[in-house]
């Protein structure tokens, strides 16, 4: 199915100014990395693909990165893309929108194992506060990737007039915990949330996938109001991600749709606003890692996600 096929979803009805949460690798995001921990952003077994996800696009042909991967420590994770000056909030198509970007994991999490391993209530159970995330074989950390893409997203969304708030900017000793990440988005009264991630599955397992919230209820969790708009948001993000990056939907999660539904992630369970997570690729696969470590490709990834959010808000 072409990438455009996911876009004509039922139009979202919303009143008043919209707010977007960009949860970059929320500590509630899960992907397919085996062995990186069972926290809210811990990775699930790659076989657990959802059959209930709506169809997502498939690219005509994935485009390889145009430049070689950079060494893990040669590029600051938080560096802004060169030439990407952020316009003041208030101008552009996202005027009046607020975007909360949540860069997932934290590069310092490994130094605070006791804190990130403590259990937090995700409504339907308990999970770790946060996890360390995964990394490429050369040592480029998922936490560095998510923060870098978050900065690029911030620049693009601000240039479109959005007000952007980060849940952290690499300035915290660890975390924040998934509960706090979700709370920040909820308190922002957002209209959408997107969590940025990179997966850590087996080599040969390639491509991106977007995680949608399942219908769950328990404790503080009740996703019923956000399930349908989150499906639309996820489809629009997936469609634009294919269009801009040329990356293929995951070949190991989502049955080729690039979409997966999960009910075990606190970042989704505790959200009161439409939210999805995106695993941008598999850091443990050499071909995907070449993309994820390429600054030009990360700029494309940010552009595709930003376009999906913009489509969702104006759909």
pLDDT in tens, 238-262: 999 999 999 999 999 999 999 999 9
Residue with more model confidence, 165 or 136: 136
In a domain, 292, yes or no: yes
> Taking 90 as the threshold, does the pLDDT of residue 94 lie above it?
no
Give me the pLDDT at residue 64, please.
36
**Mean pLDDT, residues 85-107:** 73
Q: What is the separation, in whole angstroms, between the first and last Cα of the chain?
A: 20
Q: What is the dihedral of CA 205, 33, 59, 18, to 10 degrees?
A: 180
**Mean pLDDT, residues 158-176:** 87
Q: Is the peptide bond before 176 cis (omega within 30 degrees of 0)?
A: yes
CATH number of the domain within which 299 lies:
3.40.630.40
In a domain, 3, yes or no: no
The catalytic residues are: 279
**Are the CB atoms for 37 and 206 separated by under 8 Å?**
no
The 3-state DSSP class for residue 193 equals: strand
In a domain, 43, yes or no: yes
In a domain, 25, yes or no: yes
Q: Give me the number of domains the chain comprises.
A: 1
**Enclosing domain of residue 72:** 21-314
Residue 22: pLDDT band with limits 50, 70, 90? low
In a domain, 5, yes or no: no
What DSSP character marks residue 188?
Answer: T
Residue 97: pLDDT band with limits 50, 70, 90? confident
Residue 126: pLDDT band with limits 50, 70, 90? very high
The residue written with tokens 């969304």 in the block is 157
Give me the pLDDT at residue 315, please.
61
In a domain, 282, yes or no: yes
The number of angstroms, rounded, from the C-alpha of 217 to the middle of its chain's C-alpha atoms is: 23
The residue written with tokens 């059959």 in the block is 51
Q: CA-CA distances (angstroms) from residue 150 to 25, 68, 83?
A: 9, 22, 16
Residue 40: pLDDT band with limits 50, 70, 90? low
Give me the pLDDT at residue 156, please.
92
Give me the pLDDT at residue 251, please.
98
- Residue 90 token pair: 């208030």
> Taking 80 as the threshold, does the pLDDT of residue 32 lie above it?
no
Residue 90: pLDDT band with limits 50, 70, 90? low
- Residue 121 token pair: 């209530």
Residue 163: pLDDT band with limits 50, 70, 90? confident
By DSSP bridging, strand 19-22 and strand 192-199 are parallel
Residue with more model confidence, 163 or 310: 310
> Taking 90 as the threshold, does the pLDDT of residue 1 lie above it?
no
In a domain, 7, yes or no: no
> Taking 90 as the threshold, does the pLDDT of residue 133 lie above it?
yes
**Considering the entire predicted model, what is its pTM?**
0.77
In a domain, 57, yes or no: yes
The 3-state DSSP class for residue 205 equals: coil
Q: CA-CA distances (angstroms) from residue 193 to 18, 101, 119, 285?
A: 11, 8, 24, 27
The whole-chain average pLDDT of the chain stands at: 77
> Taking 60 as the threshold, does the pLDDT of residue 13 lie above it?
no
Residue with more model confidence, 206 or 104: 206
């Amino acid at each position: 199915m072409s990438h455009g096929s996911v876009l004509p979803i039922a139009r979202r009805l919303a009143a008043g100014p919209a707010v977007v949460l960009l949860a970059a690798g929320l500590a509630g995001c899960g992907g397919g990395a085996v062995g990186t921990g069972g926290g809210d952003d811990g990775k699930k077994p790659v076989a657990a693909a959802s059959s209930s996800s709506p169809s997502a696009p498939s690219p005509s042909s994935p485009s390889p990165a145009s430049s070689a991967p950079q060494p893990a420590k040669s590029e600051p994770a938080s560096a802004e893309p060169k030439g990407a000056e952020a316009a003041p909030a208030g101008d552009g198509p996202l005027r009046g929108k607020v975007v909360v970007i949540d860069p997932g994991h934290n590069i310092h999490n490994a130094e605070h194992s006791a804190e990130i391993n403590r259990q937090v209530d995700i409504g339907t159970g308990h999970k770790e506060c946060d996890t360390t995330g995964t990394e490429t074989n050369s040592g480029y950390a998922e936490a560095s990737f998510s923060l870098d893409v978050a900065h690029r997203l911030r620049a693009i969304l601000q240039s479109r007039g959005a007000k952007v708030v980060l849940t952290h900017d690499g300035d915290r000793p660890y975390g924040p915990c998934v509960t706090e990440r979700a709370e920040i988005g909820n308190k922002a009264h957002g209209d959408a949330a997107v969590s940025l991630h990179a997966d850590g599955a087996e080599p040969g397992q390639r491509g991106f996938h977007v995680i949608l919230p399942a219908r769950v209820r328990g404790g503080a969790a009740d996703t019923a109001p956000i399930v349908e708009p989150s499906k639309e948001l996820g489809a629009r993000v997936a469609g634009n991600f294919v269009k801009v990056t040329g990356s293929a939907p995951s070949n190991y999660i989502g049955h080729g749709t690039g979409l997966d539904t999960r009910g075990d992630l606190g970042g989704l369970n505790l959200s009161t606003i439409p939210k999805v997570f995106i695993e941008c690729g598999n850091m443990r696969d050499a071909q995907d890692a070449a993309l994820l470590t390429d600054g030009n490709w990360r700029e494309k990834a940010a552009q595709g996600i930003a376009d999906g959010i913009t489509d969702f808000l104006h759909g």
